Structure 1
Amino acid sequence: MSNRPGNGPNAQTEKPPDKITCYGCNKEKQAHSFSKTQLAKYMSNYHNPYAPKGRTTKKHHIMCKQCTPQQNNSLTCMICTRTKSLDQFAKAQRKNAEKARCLECMKKREDDDVDDSEPDTASDGSFNETWDDIL
């Protein structure tokens, strides 16, 4: 068995072409303008020795490094509407960016006394009916 590079199950047998069209900007660019992951997806469109009939069934749309979206480093809290870094949010809150609440607002909500609510009497001293009174 030889230890030559290029042998083995993870070896790429084919080299990507010099020019590839980006799906994002629709421009033809050099192969070095794409990440290794995008190039692997591109190559699997044409040849994948582990896929049935040598091809993947899904057509991958590859994008160059400039068109690939970058990682989001901040979120906006839906309560205080301030934009803060990711470390100011719980991991569970980061998953749904539209409904994310910062740790500070979550702590305030937790500290609020649930039993401390408005009295059931109006400002003029008359009694307001509640659903408990009706039922």
Structure 2
Amino acid sequence: MSNPQNPQPKNLYCYGCEKEKPIHSFSKTQITKAVSNIHNPYAPSGRTTKRHHTLCKQCTPQQNNNLTCMICTKTMPLEKFAKAQRKNAEKARCLSCMKKRNEEDPSDSEDGYSDEDDSYEKRETWDDIL
């Protein structure tokens, strides 16, 4: 990992805990970001244009492994959600709720109008819940 043309510093500053820490406290990605901030004679203006704020391993946020279904309000692991539902965590619906919605009788009219007795009755639909 050591490059004689561009030596690595022994310590790096963590912007999360605002402390100088030894380099082994940082991930390889964070070290690469920090080293890109150091003067680079081969870069057009001598350094990269973006200033990276490095975070140590303790301050780096962890991946979220659970989501809460907006329909049944249960918190479940990501495997219980479709990949498309995981993209918007606030509106995520679990696979079982999605299955229930797909299994609803498509012949039910959404407006609640019944042909049998020509009466209008209000039924709760998925749009009412959302």
TM-score, with structure 1 as normaliser:
0.75
Higher strand share: 2
The answer to whether the aligner puts 1:56 opposite 2:48 as a matched pair is yes
Q: CA deviation at 1:49?
A: 5.7
**Please, which of 73, 76, 83 is the counterpart of residue 84 of structure 1?**
76
Report the Cα offset of residue 87 of structure 1: 0.7
Task: Output the amino acid matched with 1:55.
Answer: R
Helix, strand or coil for the counterpart of 2:70?
coil
Structure 2 unmatched ranges of 5 or more: 121-130
How big is each residue's C-alpha offset from its partner over 1:52-91, in whole Å with a ceiling of 9 and x where there is no partner?
A: 2231111001100000011111111111110111111111
Counterpart residue type for residue 108 of structure 2: D
Shift of 1:18: 1.8
Whichever of the two has the greater Rg, that structure is 1
Please say if 1:29 is aligned against 2:7: no
Cα separation, 1, equivalents of 2:40 and 2:108: 64
Root-mean-square deviation (Å): 2.6
Gaps of 5+ in 1: 129-135
Which residue does 1:133 correspond to in 2? none
Task: Say which of 110, 114, 117 aligns to 2:106.
Answer: 114
Deviation at 1:51, TM superposition (A): 3.1
Alpha-carbon spacing, 1:36–1:109, altered in 2? closer, same or farther (3 Å): same
From 20, 35, 41, the equivalent of 1:43 is 35
1:96 matched residue in structure 2: 88
Match of 1:66?
A: 58
The sequence identity of aligned pairs, in percent, is 62
The normalised TM-score by structure 2 is 0.77
Residues paired across the two proteins, number: 118
Instruction: Provide runs of 4+ in structure 1 moved above 2 Å.
Output: 11-16, 47-51, 117-121, 125-128
